[in-house]
Structure 1
Amino acid sequence: MPFNIPILLTWTRIVLIPLFVGVFYVSPAWLSLHEQALAATLIFIIAGVTDWLDGWLARKLGQTSAFGAFLDPVADKLMVAAALIVLVQLGRIDALIAVIIISRELAVSALREWMAKIGAAESVAVSMLGKIKTVAQMLAIPLLLYSEDIAGIPIQTIGTLLITIAAVLTLWSMAYYLKMAWPEISLRSKTGK
């Protein structure tokens, strides 16, 4: 396993997950719900920055690796899943939205792994639709974690709108990836391979 700064940042993101969850469930009694929400929001934002930074550094320093390419999306999906579960528990999003987003991430990851195994990974490479979904999701989650209005701006409402858009884009992008993979799926089901 290679060890470099980008991979260290990715591992940092994974280590932040229990800290993020712990802010709500094992934090000191003197920490108010507002302070818990602020701390969780900051941790999530730090994780998001490390996600951008590890990819940028890997390319800039020429430290890209197969292990890093594997670990980075795993760290992202774990952090997003943890955040969605916390948001459901807090009553800030509907469980259906969390199930849609988490299920899609698992399904598309499995599809990508299978397509890579058969040598057709380029068919399900990340699309612009998937990137837009990710942006909507990564903007929505901190807003929903913080949840309180700022200078009269309805943060919860904006976060709810963005996470709903992300859920719709989640389904749309999954349909897109399945469409792109369908020729291989169809061929393999006919040949039994």
Structure 2
Amino acid sequence: MNLANKITMARMMLIPLFILFFAEYPAWLIERSAFFEYIQAYGRYWALAIFILASATDKLDGYVARRYNQITNLGKLLDPLADKLLISVALIMMVQTGLVATWIAVVIIAREFVITGLRMVASEQGVALAADNLGKWKMVLQVVAIAAVLWDNYPFQFITFIQMDELLMLAAVALTIYSGVHYLLNNYRLIKMS
């Protein structure tokens, strides 16, 4: 396994760590364990740091793969899978803790299922569908929005009374929908013509 794929795997291994620090634990466990008491007090900050680190490795593995000619079929499979898992897990955990509305998570995750399904159909026909720039910007905005919500609207709360984390999340949903429709329309024609 090359370095780029190892970085991608490291991103996937950070997801359970994110869950550990972000999860809510029962009071009896927190009272009996200094570790879980610490997680109760500071877990969200650690979860935010882990999320940002994992998100940053997305750019790093892509750079390493291109720079050192380490683009592989395994990497093409694992890289988008790691992205989807990271975003999906973060959203599901945020719904569970009441930080994000359920419909937001459903829309974003459903878009990923639809696009993945389209890519699978294309692959069956021997057509490789590459990610487009809108999809990349969508991912960036999702990461920024999730980080802003995890950081509890900091530092925006000192600048404006507007809930910027909520606005960023709504913008991420809008771009998610738009990029999904755009991708479907552009690539559906390619599949039908093949």
Residue identity opposite 1:98 in structure 2: A
Residue identity opposite 1:12 in structure 2: A
- When normalised by structure 1's length, the TM-score is 0.85
Q: Structure 1 residues 98, 48: CA separation in 2 closer, same or farther (over 3 Å shift)?
A: same
1:92 partner SS = coil
Residue identity opposite 1:22 in structure 2: L
Q: Distance in 1 between matches of 2:76 and 2:191?
A: 24
Q: Distance in 2 between matches of 1:156 and 1:117?
A: 47
CA drift at 1:185:
5.8
1:7–1:68 CA contact under 8 A, matched in 2: yes
User: In the alignment, is residue 72 of structure 1 matched against residue 83 of structure 2?
Assistant: no
Q: Structure 1 residues 159, 33: CA separation in 2 closer, same or farther (over 3 Å shift)?
A: farther
1:31 partner SS = helix
Query: How many matched pairs?
Result: 184
User: In the alignment, is residue 43 of structure 1 matched against residue 50 of structure 2?
Assistant: yes
* 1:65-104 equivalent positions in 2, closer than 5 A: 65-104=72-111
Q: Distance in 2 between matches of 1:89 and 1:156?
A: 24
User: In the alignment, is residue 145 of structure 1 matched against residue 143 of structure 2?
Assistant: no
2:122–2:191 CA contact under 8 A, matched in 1: no
RMSD: 2.3
Show CA shifts across 1:56-77 (max 9, x none): 0111111111111110100110
CA drift at 1:119:
2.5
Residue identity opposite 1:147 in structure 2: D
2:142–2:172 CA contact under 8 A, matched in 1: yes
Which region of structure 1 is more displaced relative to structure 2, 24-33 or 131-140?
24-33
Structure 2, unaligned stretches of length 5 or more? none
Q: Distance in 2 between matches of 1:108 and 1:58?
A: 23
Q: Structure 1 residues 76, 154: CA separation in 2 closer, same or farther (over 3 Å shift)?
A: farther
1:30 partner SS = helix
Structure 1, unaligned stretches of length 5 or more? 189-193
Structure 1 runs of 4+ aligned residues shifted over 4 Å read 153-156, 184-188
Q: Distance in 2 between matches of 1:160 and 1:60?
A: 37
1:29 partner SS = helix
Q: Structure 1 residues 172, 45: CA separation in 2 closer, same or farther (over 3 Å shift)?
A: same
Where does residue 185 of structure 2 map in the other structure? 179
Q: Distance in 2 between matches of 1:154 and 1:42?
A: 24
- When normalised by structure 2's length, the TM-score is 0.85
